[in-house]
Amino acid sequence: MSVEFQFNANNFSPTSAELDATTLYDFLIVGGGPAGLNAALYAKRKGLETGIITRQIGGQVLNTSSVDNYLGTKSSTGEQLVEDFRSHVNSLDVPVLEYVDVEAILPNSAKNQHTVLLTDGQQFNARTLLLATGTNHRKLGVEGEERLAGRGVAYCAICDAPLYKNKNVIIAGGGNSAVEAALDLAKVANHVTIVHRSQFRADKIIIDELYQNEKIDIHLETQILSIEGDEVFSHVHALDKKKNETIDILADGVFIEIGNIPNSQLFIDLVDLNDIGEVIVDEKGQTSVDGIYSAGDVTTVSYKQIIIATSDGAKTALAANDYITIQKAKERTNQYENVK
């Protein structure tokens, strides 16, 4: 047995600053994925008092086993990329509050002071906010899925693959994440069946790999109707749309990899969302509320990619900087007027 260590030394950096409840931040970021981290980098370099509040640094990228399309990085793991991002942000002493959840955001554009309230009772204030909460796994929404979650129904291939050594698994989905999960699981599992309701929409380069893998069976045009099992998962019940007949596919587990939904539930009454729950932003990442910005996968910006989220983060930090500069100038003018 070879023993490896994925040590995140950056978590222990003694210089990392702490978020302070008495500070009025210029730019407070909710979310620690690529958009939030890059926004922090740009904001701090502009001289903004910046902080990050997040459930976990890295976000969805942590669930990505390999990243081969981030310019300048020919081949990396999602986790390594996150470590590189974190290390870069840490070098600028941006305070990060990790492993916390936001309870509510209380906007106050008139006062230029928005409040972020956490579920543990802490609260922080800022002139501008960035909502960069990313996305979460989309569920199939079929009978049996909720009941058997964690009992054979899984959502994180990178986490759970070791539990399926020499077992049979099903992957639901046809995008990049599904195809990558199938390829990853084929390395340890006995057999992998990929089931998708239409045609593949993953990158050609990995679809080719999929077809070459003898351990993987492919069922396209096949819709999962229900997930079955008593105490634990036993099979999926599906409709083969080409033959118009139902089939049962037996396995030890099923991984749901059908894309993501925006983490915007907290923002329903805060900013305008589109009909699928994405935060509506303009070309500078400004939401419907003055001084509240949004970036990355949670927004209406097309194509959910790491490099797009990072660049979005940069853009909103620059926009927030412009906004704050104008606001501070106005405040100074008002003070001057009052003195007169």
Binding site for other proteins (CB under 8 A): 1, 3-9, 11-12, 14, 55-56, 58, 62-63, 79, 99-101, 119-122, 149-156, 158-163, 165, 231-233, 252-253
Closest approach, Cβ 211 to other proteins, in A, equals 26
Strands 260-262 and 135-137: antiparallel
Instruction: Choose between 135 and 321: whose C-beta lies nearer to other proteins.
Output: 135
Instruction: Choose between 119 and 198: whose C-beta lies nearer to other proteins.
Output: 119
205 Cβ contact partners less than 8 Å away, ≥ 6 residues apart: none
E strand map for 188-313: 191-195, 216-219, 222-228, 235-240, 245-250, 253-256, 260-262, 292-294
Closest approach, Cβ 102 to other proteins, in A, equals 10
Please give the full DSSP string across 46-110, using - where no structure is assigned. Answer: TT--EEEE-SSTTGGGGG-S-B--BTTBSSB-HHHHHHHHHHHHHTTT--EE-S--EEEEE--TT
Closest approach, Cβ 321 to other proteins, in A, equals 31
> How large is the C-alpha radius of gyration of the chain?
23
Closest approach, Cβ 254 to other proteins, in A, equals 10
Closest approach, Cβ 192 to other proteins, in A, equals 15
Strands 102-106 and 114-118: antiparallel
Instruction: Choose between 134 and 285: whose C-beta lies nearer to other proteins.
Output: 134
Closest approach, Cβ 56 to other proteins, in A, equals 6
Q: To 5 degrees, how large is the angle CA 97–CA 102–CA 106?
A: 115
Instruction: Choose between 120 and 337: whose C-beta lies nearer to other proteins.
Output: 120
Instruction: Choose between 42 and 124: whose C-beta lies nearer to other proteins.
Output: 124
Instruction: Choose between 2 and 302: whose C-beta lies nearer to other proteins.
Output: 2
Closest approach, Cβ 31 to other proteins, in A, equals 15
Instruction: Choose between 102 and 210: whose C-beta lies nearer to other proteins.
Output: 102
Q: Which amino acid is at 86?
A: R
Instruction: Choose between 14 and 72: whose C-beta lies nearer to other proteins.
Output: 14
DSSP 278: P
Collapsed DSSP state (helix, strand, coil) of residue 256: strand
Q: State phi, psi for 115 to the nearest 5 degrees.
A: -115, 135
Residues 110 and 98: beta-carbon distance below 8 Å? no
Closest approach, Cβ 220 to other proteins, in A, equals 26
Nearest to 127 by CA among 331, 281, 263, 295: 331
